[in-house]
Amino acid sequence: MVVVAQLVEPRIVIPVVAGSSPVVHPIFLIGIGNDPDEGEGTPAPAPMQPLENRIHYKFRNSLLLAEALTHPSLAYESASPHFDNQRLEFLGDAVLQLIVTEELFRRFPDFTEGRLTKLRARVVSRRALARFASAIHLGTYVLLGKGEEASGGRRRASTLADAFEALIGAVYLDAGPVPARELVLRLFEAELGGMAASPEERNPKGELQECLQALHPQAPAYMIRSESGPDHRRVFLAEVSWRKQVLATGKGRSKKDAEVRAAAEALRAKVWEQPPDAGTCHLPAAD
């Protein structure tokens, strides 16, 4: 028998199994979504559908998703210390390490252990994971205690990184290693692609995304505008835009190389810092 009990806010409810303690997993019963792209208070077709749509993964067991998004501060305030995302964070960290290590090992067959270790650190650092979490608006869905919420915990890098690792751990338990790997590689595509084109310490695409998403959650978008030259010496022209504003263009011998050059030029020009009447946003292609 399941009894639905009210908790703190009218829109959050907790299922209570008769004869047991309340289980703090209100997410999957929330009836109103706050998807930033749809406006605050927009009714969601399904409680966590906006997030699941963003990651292109539908959970079979919604309790795993709820656990992944429950910050320890809420568990503490709800007197349920054993229900938070710390265990899933532990698992997700190991899953991420393995997936990224295997992918880098495959992509860079000539790299030494030291270089591969540096590349992996770039991808799975707390700062990078917080950036990936911001890209899917994960902070919108994390359940926090009142104190953590009031202190800005929803935007805190550690909170976002932990929730991201817990999310990957939840997918791993929900469906196994293959869907988890597919999800990670899909979310990390831009970062890993930038490494392939520019495997040294600097990653213009990652740097640009991090810079822009500190201002707005929307990620920069890349488009190949043209290609020219013979088949053996093809030249691609890539354009990077953000919030309907063209930031820069770049040329390269491959599509990924052109995108990296466009990102590097965008970082140099910093069009987003210019006033609206500073002139056209269409910049000449980077050499």
**Which CATH fold topology does 2-92+124-187 show?**
Ribonuclease iii, N-terminal Endonuclease Domain; Chain A (1.10.1520)
**Annotated domain spans of the chain:** 2-92+124-187, 215-286
Question: CATH: 3.90.1150.10, 3.30.70.1350, 3.40.640.10, 3.30.160.20. Which one for 215-286?
Answer: 3.30.160.20
At residue 217, the pLDDT reads: 84
Please tell me the pTM assigned to this model.
0.58
At residue 230, the pLDDT reads: 83
At residue 19, the pLDDT reads: 32
How distant is the alpha carbon of residue 103 from its chain centre? Answer: 18
pLDDT string in tens for the chain (287-residue length) = 333 333 333 333 333 333 323 333 444 333 333 444 444 443 333 356 788 988 999 999 989 999 999 888 886 666 655 678 999 999 999 999 999 999 999 998 988 898 888 889 888 988 889 989 988 889 888 888 887 788 877 888 889 999 999 999 999 999 999 999 999 999 998 888 777 766 665 678 888 988 888 888 888 999 999 999 888 788 999 999 999 999 999 998 888 889 989 998 999 899 988 765 544 344 434 44
Q: How far is CA 91 from CA 64, 129, 170, 242, in A?
A: 12, 15, 8, 34
Tell me how far apart the alpha carbons of residues 74 and 78 are, in angstroms, rounded to a whole number: 6
Q: Which residues are catalytic?
A: 93, 165
If you search the block for the tokens 């980077």, which residue do you land on? 286
Pairing of strands 235-242, 221-228: antiparallel
At residue 229, the pLDDT reads: 86
How distant is the alpha carbon of residue 132 from its chain centre? Answer: 3
Residues 6+ apart with CB under 8 A from 250: 237, 238, 240, 258, 259, 260, 261, 262, 263, 264, 265, 285, 286
Alpha helices in 23-150 (DSSP H): 49-55, 62-68, 72-77, 86-107, 113-124, 126-135, 146-150
CA nearest 127: which of 211, 219, 185?
211
CA nearest 135: which of 213, 190, 199?
213
Tell me how far apart the alpha carbons of residues 66 and 61 are, in angstroms, rounded to a whole number: 9
Q: How far is CA 97 from CA 80, 136, 256, in A?
A: 30, 20, 24
Tell me how far apart the alpha carbons of residues 237 and 16 are, in angstroms, rounded to a whole number: 58
Task: Answer yes or no: are the C-beta atoms of 162 and 85 closer than 8 Å.
Answer: yes
